[in-house]
Amino acid sequence: MAELVRLDVEDSIGTIRLLRPKLNALNAYMTEGIRGAAEEASSRADIAAVVVYGGENVFAAGADIKEMQPMDYTDAFVRGARLQKAFDAVAAIPKPTVAAVTGYALGGGCELALACDFRVAADDAQFGQPEILLGLIPGAGGTQRLPRLIGPARAKDLIFSGRLVDAAEALAIGLVDEVVPAPEVYAAARRRVKQYVGGAGVALRAAKEAIDRGLETDLATGQEIERGLFSGLFATKDHALGIASFIENGPGKAKFEGR
């Protein structure tokens, strides 16, 4: 089996590349490849941020429908769990992540983009959760992450109808954070996360954890999560470096060590 997912690293930015011709349809091999690449990116000290990229033509056009056709309930239950685990691994990367979306991000492709912190889209990109048109619903986080991002009413509109949205509408409803000409998508995605390279990596990890865990609970519990993570940062070398640099040189000039 040819390599379908690859993790590259350049200038402390990891790129998880989807490499299945022609549309990056998400089959079982790709699912495992995404999970493995995400877990590797999480553990590598030389990676400060991550781009998920499907290439110049398409991000991912959804699940492999031919692979799905013979599935019964048990098969779908197991396959869905594996796909959720893969995308959860992307969401759990303790570093800033961005999806660089060209062409289509549909079904599982849209759900993969939703698992990232940010989304940069080509001006001709299209997004959607068209599972309803197959008599199904999103099964890899779409019914959960999409309403958390754009609100329940807008998410229901997209999921109930299965319609596609273009880049302009995706930007207007908050589904994407930036729209650029198609040839500039990957460079723009790298620019978005490059600002975090050399930053306070432990604090960035804590900030991401506080936000993501806090969204799953009530305000009081979220503040307890925040307080614990905030206090823990006082045990880090970066905290000492940041405060000393601020006192001596003013804000924004600290050189962090990521520990």
- Residues recognised as catalytic: 111, 131
On whether the CB atoms of residues 128 and 166 are closer than 8 A, the answer is no
Closest-CA residue to 145 (of 90, 70, 200, 100): 90
Give, in order, the Cα–Cα distances in Å from 168 to each of 32, 127, 171, 191. 32, 11, 5, 21
* CB half-sphere exposure, 237, CA atoms < 13 A: 7
- Residue 252 is given by DSSP the state T
Give, in order, the Cα–Cα distances in Å from 25 to each of 8, 62, 105. 21, 5, 10
Give, in order, the Cα–Cα distances in Å from 20 to each of 5, 31, 60. 8, 11, 9
Closest-CA residue to 68 (of 126, 2, 134, 130): 134
Length of the chain: 259
Write the single-letter amino acid at 117.
D
Give, in order, the Cα–Cα distances in Å from 58 to each of 42, 55, 109, 123, 183. 25, 6, 10, 13, 12
